[in-house]
Structure 1
Amino acid sequence: MDFGLVLQTDPPGAATVGLMRRAERNGFRYGWTFDSAVLWQEPYVIHSRILANTQRLIVGPMVTNPGTRTWEVTASTFATLNEMYGNRTVCGIGRGDSAMRVAGRKPNTLARLSEAMSVIRDLAEGREAVVDGTPLRLPWVAGSRLPVWMAAYGPKALAMAGREADGFILQLADPYLTEWMVKAVRQAAADAGRDPDEVTVCVAAPAYVTEDASDAAMAHAREQCRWFGGMVGNHVADLVARYGEESSLVPAALTSYIKARHGYDYAHHGRAGNPDTEFVPDEIVDRFCLVGPVETHLERLRALRELGVDQFAVYAMHDAREAVVDAYGEHIVPVLHDGPATS
């Protein structure tokens, strides 16, 4: 199992770079950042600094979308980073949540996402692609490789990830839902004539390591991670709007908790103490996140690995960012890491 670190690009940018260097020293192989241009600093500028200050870390957005930038710009950015630092990038991409909605736009359609994934990959790897009816190729690209990993929850998106993406990003760490969704992705890959094992599976969720499992320690850890249920809830609300509350196409284990949800202010997006996530119960925090002593993390991660998860990416938006990176580096990565990562 590989490990990644996921950060928001809050200023100062040097702090993000420093945390990624710390992650690499602790055996992490991937460095991910949010991509929401209004809420945080521009990620690709910071990615360049991360790559310049690390030796092996593979970097990318978790996640970008097809609407914030034109596709040839996104492809050129990745190809430029690859030329400068070797093929150490990965494109995490989805329909778009905060980046689109904060700017007054709707998330992209799956059809648009499908086309964008193909075009971005082709252009970044030096092949011709059609953008808005015009054939384009980046003539300076040579030897660039860009895996494209798709974030998904719903049945149509999961099927698309299995058919078309190089990797699948699942932003929650519940074993039951992970098993359900990984099976859907792998079945879609097989139905498309692909080897299902060729689709890399990345689970991303907050992790908070406590010294013990006392009530006080667990209560604090849950409060630091409760924001995540709100972030996931934005996507779940879209699924409920599309499929209904009782649909057999989407597990109730994913959708039922948002019944008490009342709106969402992106000013608090992805931050501990988010007042719009008070509806998220402790049970969801415990299921979706990893909170508790080291042994609790190891038990959950072993279960996820058995379900086919190739990477666990740690969301570190809480008051113990350095501590969780160090704890994973000392107690968890050496136990579960399988060897060098590949992009």
Structure 2
Amino acid sequence: MPLPPLVLSMGDPAGVGPAITAAAWASLQTDPSVAFYVIGAPELYRDHCKVQVISSPAETIGVFGSALPVLPIGVMPHVDPGRPDPATAAAIISAIETGVAHVRVGQAAGLVTNPINKALLYGAGFRHPGHTEFIAELCRPEDGEPLRPVMMLTGGGLRVALATIHQSLASVPGSLTQDSLIELGTIVHTALQSDFGIATPRIAFTGLNPHAGESGALGREEIDIINPAAETLRYRNINISDARPGDTVFAEALSGAFDAVIAMTHDQGLIPVKTLDFWGGVNMTLGLPIVRTSPDHGTGYEAAAAGTARPDSLIAAIRSAVMVARNRQTK
């Protein structure tokens, strides 16, 4: 069956979102298999490409080949690239909410989110630690348990999920638990099967400490937390390694030994991905009932002001969303 179109949320209109969205459309407009529409203000895109206002996601396929389909959202003040304006906060939030709603009812195959600035949104009632957590809350079943979204970065031949994200290094050891790593390993295993089409995934845990703790000489987190979690996961028929040294495990994954790596800290996992593919990395959210991807960069206010934004990561995020949606469709 053909997929519905993807939906893009506009992100911060003062950032690179409008420019990279228009550039992605210009690059992809001849390929209806990756058709998308963007929820935003039409005037944000008219300086960059031809625009067609739509009133329904269903109009996207008929428009995509000749113009960027834009579903208008609210009232937008004049926006200067590179100059964030708190007056745009409500529309930014509404675009995300609307995009999630469209995917949940099947009007869109997946959501690709342009970057936001959380600090800008707090005055409009945004109370979530990040973009991902907000989307997870929007996807939470009524009267259901909170979802655990998992960040996975892909690029340069690597798939890397993160055990901890935006927190200080000093707080990481105390936040790692066997139960949390077991849940994380299960989510990654399931996503590799359903989203990436890998029937028998092979996963590696990194160690937290140098040389994966060197049998306790450099720290006991591997012995006390990571390896017992791995043992439980293997008992549940999930193919995952004990903690591997962080300075070699990514080379092992590139050689084909592992389909994904679970890194213990943010920088441990992102440095190899961004070094190998700085422009084309993709942020994928696992563990949600909807498909969600995002470019692996921020709002880029300076690039927006200078007109130097590159769409590589957004284009990769669009293609990744289509891949996941197709794989889920076949399950």
Q: Which has the higher helix share?
A: 1
Length-normalised TM-score, structure 2: 0.32
Length-normalised TM-score, structure 1: 0.31
Which protein is bigger by CA-based radius of gyration?
A: 2
